[in-house]
Amino acid sequence: MDPDLILRWLHVIGACVLLGTGAAIAFFMLMAHRTSDPRIIAHTAGIVVLSDLLFTTTAVILQPITGTLLAWSLGWSLTEGWIALSLVLYVLTGLFWLPVVWVQIRLRKYAQIAVDQGTAMPEQYDRLFRFWFACDVPAFLAVLIILWLMLARPAIAIF
């Protein structure tokens, strides 16, 4: 099998995992939050944290590897405008994603405490959820832009 085709396939699968997992996590967390039910929030946040650790982390690690190998294989420079911009956006996405993972773990903890104590969600939960949402939106938008850059490969003069 053609090594370039394998790299492209792996890179596209990684991009799909990042986009799909990110969209699903955001959707499920938002839907759980809207219930205000600590049991649902705790359960959903637990699945979301596991999903991020298994799927998103794997894709986050493999994307730059497959992307770099693919670029080199095809003779593209990493300083080519659309690639360089993609890399900048990838780092930006990571800067938003790391706190999101930490926040999801805290949200799960707050919900589990509320379940254990038979109380409503604490005020800190709502503030943290708003922070989570504020970080999730730009990270998700950056991933969408990266995917567009991968597909369109526009001529962008950066250097």
- The pLDDT tens digits of the residues spanning 34-53 come to 999 999 999 999 999 999 99
Token digits for 43? 């359960």
**Domain locations in the chain as residue ranges:** 3-152
How many CA atoms are closer than 13 Å to the CA of 76, on its beta-carbon side?
Answer: 17
- The pLDDT tens digits of the residues spanning 87-138 come to 999 999 999 999 999 999 999 999 999 999 999 999 999 999 999 999 999 9
∠ at Cα 124 (28, 56), nearest 5°? Answer: 35
